[in-house]
A and B are shown apart, each in its own frame.
Chain A
């Protein structure tokens, strides 16, 4: 039936039809998004300049007072320090082990799919159950870990009740829980390195280390950088395992940013102050994300993606 129209009219009509259909198709998503993403992002910014208790009607504009309070709260700095400690504890350790595993699985190994599944399983199970298992493993008297370290003559540690050991306990569990993702990502990166590079290096008489330093690592740089940023972001956001494993204790020694925010928002219902924490947190993550975007862009420049 369009045959009788000229092309311009046809296209115009198509575009109008597309607009209506397009909006129709997007409506469910747009409604949910406006309610639970767009409005909240703007509203929490607004909230962060207010004293806003959810269940009393004391709501007033207080300017930067929440931010000021936050920056002068010693607990905030303590929590920030602990979050950074957790990140610095998990990310490098995680990446080194994950790369090692990925390289091993790239070799002639029997039972690869079993091994891959084994290393990946901790990633997919619920953090609550995982943290419960580790509470049992960390038990000072009957736990598996103290028994295992005891076999090597290491004295028992009261993992979860000693404020110095608790962070280490959290880090060990954190590495165990997220290792699999990075292993899979490294594997994908390794498969992208052409075999010819290694063959050429072997012809030149390069040894194993030399190949690792001169081919594998440089060729993996984009993957490594991506993994690093993603792992840092997710370590910064750690919450579930902290809640179940240590509840932020003992004496606040494992309290991290999201936990601090959660307490102010949903225990004390100080929505304004908690929103200020959320925005500071957002700013820190945004810097990490921007770093990544910038890096990816400079990379894709010469790869022609």
Chain B
């Protein structure tokens, strides 16, 4: 009897716990569900009170209309081009720098490394204005270079990869050196293949960060044909203030690639967060 009572109590507690946490999870993702459902509704299903969750008839047409109202295809191309270029660039520059900091002993290396680490504490707001001016002097304002070049190096990425390289046993490289390999070949053929998890983490962080970037694109780009998805969406908002069907269709398009990347690469992303505690 008493035993049954304890069991019942445990079961009630467990059900209650599940209820609370699933309710909270629902509240957290409700905005996304709401976004997707709104993007598929006819205007007559949008401006109703009380709100209706499901559309009477699914309006795929909203997406076509959004594409007509603004060149989202072009925005996409720009965003993906910029994000992919920056990501590839960072993978190269960061792994080279990280290898130098992790393996090559030379005069001044540690001082350089500490300066490097120190720059991670500088908020981007401090460098934003002169960086803009540098781009202006180079004549690069309103160009792809302006969105790409400043992102081609990263203290965070260099640090992340250096820490990982340090965990790789040195013996592997020594054998290669005896066979006469150059440093570059060692990095390329031994270190990098062993560092795939760290490279994946960096790639995902950089891709997401660049794809989602708003303020930098806002500052350095004006022309319509250079706008990224985020910038395009913000301009779209000003033009179609309450056309929620179009605005939500645009939002779905701006979030979809990131959601897809995230679902496939979650493991690396969460690992990166716990490693660094920053960036999101």
Partner-B contacts on A (CB < 8 A): 15, 18-19, 21-23, 25-26, 28-29, 31-33, 35-41, 43-44, 47, 54, 101, 104-105, 107-110, 114-130, 132-137, 139, 141-144, 147, 176, 178-181, 184-185, 188, 226-227, 230, 233-234, 237, 239-240, 243-244, 258, 261-262, 265-266, 271, 274-275, 278-279, 281-282, 285-286, 289
State whether the Cβ of B244 lies closer than 8 Å to any Cβ in chain A: yes
How far is it, in angstroms, between the C-alpha of A4 and the C-alpha of B48 when the chains are bound? 88
Q: Are B31 and A18 in contact (CB under 8 A)?
A: no
A247 to chain B, nearest CB (A): 9
Q: Which residues of B contact A118 (CB under 8 A)?
A: 25, 28-29
For residues 65 through 118 of chain B, which have their beta carbon under 8 Å from a beta carbon of chain A? 92-94, 96-97, 99-100, 104-107, 109, 112, 116
How far is it, in angstroms, between the C-alpha of A213 and the C-alpha of B224 when the chains are bound? 56
Specify the chain A residue showing the minimal Cβ separation from B182.
A21
Specify the chain A residue showing the minimal Cβ separation from B122.
A41
Produce 1/0 per residue, B119-153, CB < 8 A to A: 10111011111111110100000000000011011
Taking a contact as CB atoms closer than 8 A, the residue among B35, B47, B104, B127 that contacts A142 in the complex is B47
Q: Which residues of A contact B250 (CB under 8 A)?
A: 129, 132
How far is it, in angstroms, between the C-alpha of A129 and the C-alpha of B28 when the chains are bound? 15
Q: Are A278 and B247 in contact (CB under 8 A)?
A: no
How far is it, in angstroms, between the C-alpha of A157 and the C-alpha of B99 when the chains are bound? 56
Query: Can you identify 7 A-B contacts, CB atoms within 8 angstroms?
Result: A40-B130, A116-B270, A121-B32, A128-B233, A136-B38, A184-B274, A239-B214
For residues 239 through 273 of chain B, which have their beta carbon under 8 Å from a beta carbon of chain A? 244, 247-248, 250-251, 254-255, 258-259, 262-263, 266, 269-270, 273
For residues 197 through 229 of chain B, which have their beta carbon under 8 Å from a beta carbon of chain A? 208, 211-212, 214-215, 218-219, 229
Q: Are B96 and A29 in contact (CB under 8 A)?
A: yes
Partner-A contacts on B (CB < 8 A): 14, 17-18, 20-22, 24-25, 28-32, 34-35, 38, 46-51, 92-94, 96-97, 99-100, 104-107, 109, 112, 116, 119, 121-123, 125-134, 136, 149-150, 152-153, 155, 158, 183, 208, 211-212, 214-215, 218-219, 229-230, 233-234, 237, 244, 247-248, 250-251, 254-255, 258-259, 262-263, 266, 269-270, 273-274, 277-278, 280
Q: Are A26 and B259 in contact (CB under 8 A)?
A: no
Known: A44-B126, A107-B17. A181 touches B280 (CB 8 A): yes
Q: Are B18 and A110 in contact (CB under 8 A)?
A: yes
Q: Which residues of A contact B28 (CB under 8 A)?
A: 118-119, 121-122, 176, 179
Taking a contact as CB atoms closer than 8 A, the residue among B17, B51, B123, B266 that contacts A104 in the complex is B17
How far is it, in angstroms, between the C-alpha of A139 and the C-alpha of B46 when the chains are bound? 11
Q: Which residues of B contact A25 (CB under 8 A)?
A: 96-97, 99-100, 104, 183
Q: Are B30 and A144 in contact (CB under 8 A)?
A: yes
Interface class of chain A by DSSP = helix
How far is it, in angstroms, between the C-alpha of A184 and the C-alpha of B104 when the chains are bound? 35
Q: Are A124 and B31 in contact (CB under 8 A)?
A: no
Taking a contact as CB atoms closer than 8 A, the residue among B17, B132, B158, B237 that contacts A132 in the complex is B237
Q: Are B214 and A243 in contact (CB under 8 A)?
A: yes
**In this complex, which of B48, B127, B254 has the most chain A Cβ atoms within 10 angstroms of its Cβ?**
B127
Specify the chain A residue showing the minimal Cβ separation from B99.
A25
Q: Which residues of B contact A143 (CB under 8 A)?
A: 51
